[in-house]
Structure 1
């Protein structure tokens, strides 16, 4: 049960970008977004109110962006939407709450879109643990239930919300086979898979979360649903020609 969740803390590796020093030594604070820097670690603010700027100006990315990661919808759908995400990222939480339900209802359930989730776990150890836990849940056919539960229980970065103990409690709450889940999580077996997702993301221009690809068209940031919908409609129109 949720009331069982412990309050244990885990140290993170979140860094605050310093403000630029200008003439006369005046200090000007720089805006901070949730962004990754070459995979070397998180570059983020704990309390960021402005979402990453949206961008869809780059040429479409080709190749198998989806890889073999968890997906929803028709495997033969004409449009594939791939989200690179971090379970601790608040803007990814916003995407989950606002964009994802409408995307699933309007396009995934109608067979027009396949939605793929890929990890871009860069905000600290609890991001990696949460991603590993979701992969362990996937072994028991409950990736999406666990994915949803994680986003519904975000509570800051590396403050203990996604401690390994809590992740095991979540599995119990979702009626997973706990012995199998706990063994999977303790083994660290998905560390290389999570690292591969991040490396694949960086290779195609992912530097912030959430970053979404719609048939290879990149959209960076917590954008309105209508923006993604417009790209999907354009891709569907191409497919119907």
Structure 2
């Protein structure tokens, strides 16, 4: 089956028009403690008052653009200094191979290797559904990561252990009105103050929203 890229892009363009009028509601369980207890990959100090949630697809070229640029600045400015926790959620909607890549990435989280795998996939990203994240290549990528228990990883991937986990991430994204990648939530740890960002926006836009929310939280 041939993926109609033009159709996907036109659909995403339509979503960008419709989304501002959608009556999407934030899920009640959107709190840092719930995200962590459910097994979402994260970086940063869990005592931070700010949370950044990234909904992405490993085949998404816009996500790669964000990872190569803005994410690094967010990491050095907010995550590494302990000001924010960075949480990853799967939204595999760019191609047929995207979901399996998400399942594989979640499998690496069992061994504390998610962010290394995340870096590898975006560094080696190929054209959508060109086979670069087929099952064989996903296993090769995992094998390149130091100290990865490849037997454990392959068992996890082959049994699709985390398919339902990924499905729940997709459902969460939909409940938030997110239909394209990358999309983001900036919030406090209780999820009572939420800001949404869609698309690979430049760092100054993230900084403005994060700083404003941080000020709002600190003034309470």
| TM-score normalised by structure 1 residue count | 0.77
Partner of 1:111: 82
Question: Which structure 2 segments of 5+ residues have no match?
Answer: 188-193
Match of 1:120 among 91, 95, 99: 91
Partner of 1:186: 158
Match of 1:225 among 192, 203, 208: 203
* Pairs within 5 Å for 1:61-100: 61=26, 63-65=28-30, 67=35, 68=38, 69-100=40-71
Partner of 1:42: none
Match of 2:117 among 143, 146, 151: 146
User: Counterparts of 2:112 and 2:2 in 1: how far apart (Å)?
Assistant: 30
Partner of 1:7: none
* Pairs within 5 Å for 1:124-139: 124-139=95-110
Question: Which structure 1 segments of 5+ residues have no match?
Answer: 1-10, 19-30, 38-51
Is contact 1:77–1:114 with CA below 8 Å preserved after alignment?
Answer: yes
Deviations 1:190-231 (A, max 9, x none): 111111100111011111100011112111111111101100
Q: How many residues are matched? A: 204
Deviations 1:169-195 (A, max 9, x none): 111111311111111110011111111
Partner of 1:16: 6
| TM-score normalised by structure 2 residue count | 0.84
User: Counterparts of 2:78 and 2:130 in 1: how far apart (Å)?
Assistant: 36
CA displacement at 1:233 relative to structure 2: 0.4
3-state SS in 2 of match to 1:160 = coil
User: Counterparts of 1:191 and 1:14 in 2: how far apart (Å)?
Assistant: 24
Which protein is bigger by CA-based radius of gyration? Answer: 1
CA displacement at 1:124 relative to structure 2: 2.4
User: Counterparts of 1:157 and 1:34 in 2: how far apart (Å)?
Assistant: 15
Match of 1:210 among 178, 182, 206: 182
Higher helix share: 2
Partner of 1:40: none
CA displacement at 1:34 relative to structure 2: 4.7
